[in-house]
Structure 1
Amino acid sequence: MFTDVPPSYDFVNRVLTWRFDVIWRKKAASESLKNSPSKILDLCTGTGDLALQIRKKTESGAKVFALDYSKPMLKLAITKANKKKFDDITFIHADVANIPFPDSHFDSVGIAFAFRNLTFNNPDHDIFLKEIYRIIKPGGRFVIVETSQPKNKLLRSLFHFYMKHITSPLGGFLSGNRGAYRYLAHSAINYWNDQEATDYLKSYGFSQVTTKMILGGISAIYVAIK
C-alpha cells in the first residue's frame, strides 16, 4: 500500500493531520518508554518517525529497534536517523508475520498508524497479533497510536467527511498515490472504535488495555500489557 515512498510522503502526512501526528507520536513515544525498558521495537516503522521520537526521549540507555517490510521506507528512515546522528538505532527489514527475534524479547513495542493496516479486513491479522504478542516480555507494553471513532455523532460525521472528501483526494493528489489514500480514508472511516480495539487486543491475551482518546476520539493511544 505505502511501500513506494514519494519524496513528499512525510510532508503529505503533516499537511493532512495539521501536524497533529507529530504530537501523537511524541505521546506514544513517552508511553513506550514508561517502566524504563531496555529494548524497544518500533513496528512498521515506515519512515522512522516513532523510532526517532523514542530515541530522542530515551534517557535510560534503552536499545531502539525499528522494523518495516518496505525497503524504500527503511532507506528513508535510516537517512533521517543519520541526519540526527541516531546511528545506534537498529533498522530491520522483515515481515510482521515473521519477526526475527526470540520469544519475550522486548520490554516495549510501539506502532504508529499501521495497526489498522495489519488488522482492517486483513486475512493475516491473526498471524500478526500472535507474533507481536510472542516477542513482548511478560508485563511488557504494546503501545498503539491509531485512528478511532469519535463517540459524538457530529464529530464522527465531520471526521468521516474530512477523510473521504479531503484526505483521500488531497493526499492522492499531493503524493501521486491515489489508491493508497483512498484506502486510508476507507479504512479509517470503517475502523474500530476504542471498545472494539480493546476487546480485540484482550482476545489475544493482553491482560490490561488502557485507552487515551485524542481530539474527541479521532485517534487513540492504546497501551496493552502482556
Structure 2
Amino acid sequence: MSSDTTDDIYDPAFVKDVFDRCSDQYIAFSWVCSFGFTERWRRQCVEALPELAEGATGYDLMAGTGEVWPHLLRRRPDLATITAVDISSGMHRRALERLHRHRAHRISFIEDDVLASQLPDESADFVVSTFGLKTFDRDRQTLLARLVARVLKPGGSFAMIEASDPKGWLLRPLYLFHLKTVLPLVERFLLNGAQDFSRIGVYSTNFGDAGHIAESLAAEGLEVRFRKHFFGCATSVSGRKPLT
C-alpha cells in the first residue's frame, strides 16, 4: 500500500482502497461521529439546488452509499434518473443493499474515478455531491469544477457540500480534538476500521473549506454561491450554469 503522505492519499487507487475497507461501517460512523449533522447537511445541500424541472436527469458524484438519493427524490419525486458515480466498489455494494432496491428504475451506477469517467457534455440538468470533495486535492478540485461545467446543460444547477475546518469559531479547538482524537478512538475500540476512519479525518482537516472549489467553479463561468453551515463545520457551493 502507498505510504501515508499528503500526495499518496489523493491517488485514486488509494482512495478506493480506503473506502472499500470502511464501507460496511461508513453509514454508522458518519452518523454517530457527526451527531446526525451529515443527514441535515445533505438535506440542506439538496435544498440549495436551484429549481429542478420535471423529468430532470443528473449526476451524484462521489456518491458513496447513496444517502442523498432520498433527499433528491423527496424534493423532486418526478426526477427521471440519477446516475451515481463512485470509485469504491464497497460503497457501491452498500448503496445497492440499502437504498437502491426500490429505486432501481430511477438510479444507475458508474463505478469509476469521477475525473476519468467519460460523462457526456451537457448531459445533466443537475449535479450534486455530498461529502466526497475532501478526497480531492486542490488540483483535482480544479479538474472537478471543469467537469461539472462541461456536463451541465445550459441552465443546469449544482450543489456540493463537505465537512470543513471552522476557522474563527470559538469552539474550533474542541471540534479539532473531536476529529483528530475522539474519532480515532471510536474507530479503534468500536468499529475496527484499520485506521481508515481516522484517515477520513485527515482528508477533512486537509480540505479546509469549499472556498477553492467555489473559485474554480466561478472560473469556469458558473454562477456560484458559497455558504457556511453550523459555524463553518461544513461548507457548500451551489449555483447554475448560465443559459448563454
**Higher mean Cα deviation, 143-152 or 209-218?**
143-152
Matched, 1:129 2:145: yes
Match of residue 223 from structure 1: 238
Distance 2:81 2:181 in 1: 41
CA contact (8 A) 1:110 1:144 kept: yes
The structure 1 residue matched to 2:46, chosen from 7, 29, 54, is 29
Letter in 2 for 1:13: S
How far did residue 64 of structure 1 move? 1.6
CA contact (8 A) 2:164 2:234 kept: yes
Distance 1:225 1:92 in 2: 24
How far did residue 80 of structure 1 move? 1.7
The 3 A distance-change label for structure 1 pair 174 and 225 is: farther
How far did residue 140 of structure 1 move? 2.0
The structure 2 residue matched to 1:65, chosen from 51, 61, 83, is 83
Percent of counterpart pairs with the same letter? 23
Distance 2:194 2:45 in 1: 28
The 3 A distance-change label for structure 1 pair 30 and 158 is: same
Match of residue 150 from structure 1: 166
CA contact (8 A) 1:99 1:131 kept: no
Normalising by structure 2, we get a TM-score of 0.80
Matched, 1:7 2:30: no
Letter in 2 for 1:209: V
Letter in 2 for 1:192: G
The 3 A distance-change label for structure 1 pair 63 and 176 is: same
CA contact (8 A) 1:33 1:54 kept: no
Letter in 2 for 1:110: V
Distance 1:172 1:29 in 2: 33
The structure 2 residue matched to 1:110, chosen from 123, 128, 143, is 128
Distance 2:57 2:21 in 1: 29
**Secondary structure, in 3 states, of the residue corresponding to 1:7?**
helix
Describe the superposition over 1:103-158 as per-residue Cα deviations: whole angstroms up to 9, x where unpaired. 011111111111111235xx644444333332112232221111223243422222
Cα RMSD (Å) of the superposition? 2.4
CA contact (8 A) 1:209 1:224 kept: yes
How far did residue 194 of structure 1 move? 4.8
The 3 A distance-change label for structure 1 pair 69 and 220 is: same
Match of residue 196 from structure 2: 180
How far did residue 162 of structure 1 move? 1.4
CA contact (8 A) 1:149 1:219 kept: yes
The 3 A distance-change label for structure 1 pair 202 and 179 is: farther
**Higher mean Cα deviation, 170-179 or 156-165?**
170-179
How far did residue 16 of structure 1 move? 0.4
Matched, 1:92 2:110: yes
Normalising by structure 1, we get a TM-score of 0.85
Which consecutive residues of structure 2, in runs of 5 or more, have no partner in the other structure?
A: 1-17
How far did residue 68 of structure 1 move? 1.1
Distance 1:107 1:202 in 2: 18
